[in-house]
Structure 1
Amino acid sequence: MSSSLLRRGMLLLTVMLLGGCNTVVMNPSGFVAAQQGRLIVVATVLMLIIIIPVIACTIFFAWRYRKNNTAATYDPEWNHSTQLELLIWGAPLLIIIALGLVTWISTHTLDPYRPLQRLDAERAIPAGTKTLVVEVVALDWKWLFIYPEQGIATVNELVVPVDVPVRFKITASTVMNSFYIPALAGQIYAMPGMETKLHAVINQAGVYDGFSANYSGAGFSDMRFKFHGVSPTAFADWVKATKTGGGTLQRADYLVLEQPSVRAPVSRYGSVAPDLYDAILNRCVGAGAVCMKSMMTGEHAGMHHHE
């Protein structure tokens, strides 16, 4: 019976390990996320180079020098081995140097603020390619996406064309959230009064999950949206349909939209106030509110006047 349970346990473990091979983080559809996935593999392999021998030696020595093994060498006066010291300190040091080098290169290459240099490992960005700008606002508890060049906006729906670089400008209305689409790129924080950026590209058409990866209150669990990677033609058609059938998102409409809600349905807006994102970022959407940038400029001017 114990043997049967052991076999079942091993089978379950194997299924679990193999099931992880298809997780979106390790098998993404965006070039940035693919590089991040490879970085995880490289870092894991480098660490296993030292971890596996250490575990193996621990098991070997525990068995080899067990109490009832009288054939093992007994040397209570032994206290130093130059070769062993070099191995113990040299191998981890080399691993740390390799990890440091890989991390340093990857940190600069995958900087979310850095514009993309390639569409994927085989293709450079064609000359004349225009980057799509999407302004992202984390609300309680939903996501607002503004397309400033197209003049449209959506709630809990993000659509971008395949093989087109996208520059996300990200902020929040009240509390900090984390904008995360595992198939596309790593998570980036969304903070009120601040703007973070993310450059990414999706290489395969499909529908992917997006969500907040930072707890932000009661409706956090349902703060999810669908990310659609579509062909450029399908994207143009979607923009046209949204312009035709969408509602209006002016400042007054936004003040209603930003009120807390859970499981907000997908909404589309065919026209958007052109300065809405800037007002959200500078926390001055409401009538009579003073924008942060104006306050800072005023303080700066006042300091010079005082001087």
Structure 2
Amino acid sequence: MLDPKGPVASAEHLILLNATVIMLAVIVPVALLTLGFAWWFRKGNPRATRRPNWSYSGPLEVVVWSIPLLVILFLGGIAWLGSHDLDPRKPLASEQAPLDIQVVSLDWKWLFLYPEGGVATVNHLVVPTGRPLRLHLTSASVMNSFFVPQLGSQIYTMAGMATQLHLQADQAGTFPGLSAQFSGEGFSDMRFMVDAVPPQDFAAWLAKAKSGPEVLDADAYLALAKPGTSAATAYRLNEPNLFDAIVRGDGQPKTSTHLH
């Protein structure tokens, strides 16, 4: 999270830094005053005056309450602006059309579908650099949480529901992703890698994956959906409407016509 590689993660990184600085406006003075009071009212200081009947000071109350109030206002403002600017469903500003990727959380693995490219992968997400990603997410089992810290915005997946998340990788590289939600004995193995590559390399990868021997059809999906971990694998996607069937909970898609 402290090494962002995309616009969403960079904006969240800035929010984190701003919030930390604002909270330090209370933390630092309190720490210094605690040390100062302990030193001034030490037993050996004859100038320290004990006032047992003192109970109230208007100016002191103003200072004590105004600083935390300002901190709350600033943090609330950051949260308000950030929640609107970084709305997961809000498209990212770009001259390029977003790449649609469908994400399904399984027990205990991640399935990524590229409906336009006719490709599917397990525990391996390949994306082009500089192009917005429009992720459609759901769960084929229990609630889970999709998170790529260096790209930003953790978001939940739930059965019977589809949500959206917009991300983008500005730099080429390999970024770890994970499940941030406890979902069973294998959830700690729900880790995947995001490979951000130049657009020409992405096109070459799509072509290679589409010509591979592994095929993801209805039967292959049912086998994949069974609980268990899986190594990173690429498939030819023979069910272009598989994601919609999973959201509906059909469970046993037969053909593309049936999935409609």
Q: TM-score range by the shorter chain?
A: over 0.9
Q: Indicate the residue corresponding to 1:268 in structure 2.
A: 234
TM-score by length of 1: 0.80
Moved more, 242-251 or 161-170: 242-251
Q: Percent identity?
A: 45
- The residue identity in structure 2 corresponding to 1:38 is L
- Aligned runs of 1:159-178 on 2, under 5 Å? 159-178=126-145
Distance 1:145 1:93 in 2: 46
Once the two structures are TM-superposed, the CA of residue 138 in structure 1 deviates from its matched residue by 0.5
Q: Which of 169, 179, 195 is 1:212 aligned to?
A: 179
Cα RMSD for the two superposed structures: 1.5
**Is this contact kept in 2: 1:246–1:271, CA < 8 A?**
no
Which string of whole-angstrom CA distances, capped at 9 and with x for unpartnered residues, describes residues 146-173 of structure 1? 0011111011110000000001011111
SS at match of 1:226: strand
Q: How far has the Cα of 1:82 moved from its partner?
A: 1.8
Matches within 5 A, 1:126-145: 126=95, 129-145=96-112
| Gap regions ≥5 residues in structure 2 | 255-259
Higher helix share: 1
Q: 1:244, 1:67 → 2: CA distance?
A: 82
Q: Match for residue 9 of structure 2?
A: 33
Tell me by how many angstroms 1:287 deviates: 6.3
Deviation string, structure 1 residues 232-261 (Cα, Å, up to 9, x no partner): 000000000011114221112111111111
Q: 2:118 aligns with which of 137, 151, 172?
A: 151
Q: Pick one of 65, 77, 80 that aligns with 1:104.
A: 80
Aligned partner (choices 150, 160, 169) of residue 193 of structure 1? 160
What letter is aligned with 2:67?
A: A
8 Å Cα contact 1:181-1:211 kept in structure 2: yes
1:63 partnered with 2:33: no
Aligned AA for 1:252? D
- The separation in 1 between residues aligned to 2:41 and 2:213, in whole angstroms, is 76
1:68 Cα deviation (Å)? Answer: 3.6
Separation (CA, whole Å) in 1 of partners of 2:213 and 2:133:
23
The answer (yes or no) to whether the contact 1:33–1:186 under 8 Å persists in 2 is yes
Aligned to 2:150: 183
Give matches, 1:38-117, under 5 Å.
Answer: 38-117=14-93
Question: Amino acid of the residue matched to residue 27 of structure 1?
Answer: D
- 2:257 aligns with none
Which stretches of structure 1, 4 residues or more, deviate above 4 A after TM superposition? none
On the 8 A contact 1:276/1:285 being kept in 2, the answer is: no
Report the alpha carbon displacement of residue 70 of structure 1 after superposing the two structures with TM.
2.5
Distance 2:114 2:252 in 1: 21
Task: Measure the CA separation in 1 of the matches of 2:194 and 2:234.
Answer: 14
Match of 2:221 in 1: 254
| Conserved? CA contact 1:246–1:268, under 8 Å | no
Please report how far the alpha carbon of residue 285 of structure 1 lies from its aligned counterpart in structure 2 after TM superposition.
2.4
Residues 49-82 of structure 1, C-alpha deviations (whole Å, 9 max, x = no match): 0111012111211221123422212222222222
**Which structure ranks higher in relative contact order (CA pairs < 8 Å, sequence separation ≥ 6)?**
2
What's 1:14 paired with? none
Superposed displacement of residue 176, structure 1: 1.2
The alignment status of 1:283 with 2:249, answered yes or no, reads yes
Question: Could you say what secondary structure the match of 1:144 adopts?
Answer: strand
Number of aligned residues: 255
- The more displaced of 129-138 and 80-89 is 80-89
TM-score (norm 2): 0.94
Per-residue CA deviations over 1:21-42 (Å, capped at 9, x if unaligned) read: xxxx111111101110110110
- Matched to 2:139, the amino acid is A
Quote the offset at 1:134 in angstroms: 0.4
Deviation at 1:268, TM superposition (A): 1.1
Whole-angstrom distance in 2 between the partners of 1:105 and 1:97: 12
Q: Distance in 2 between matches of 1:115 and 1:219?
A: 33
CA deviations 1:185-239 (Å, max 9, x no partner) are 1211111111121101000000110110111111111111110000000000000
Structure index of larger Rg: 1
What is the alpha-carbon distance in structure 2 between the residues aligned to residue 43 and residue 246 of structure 1?
A: 50
Paired position in structure 1 for 2:197: 230
Q: What whole-Å deviation, never above 9, does each CA across 1:102-142 have from its counterpart, x for those lacking one?
A: 1100110011111112xxxxxxx22xx11100000011111
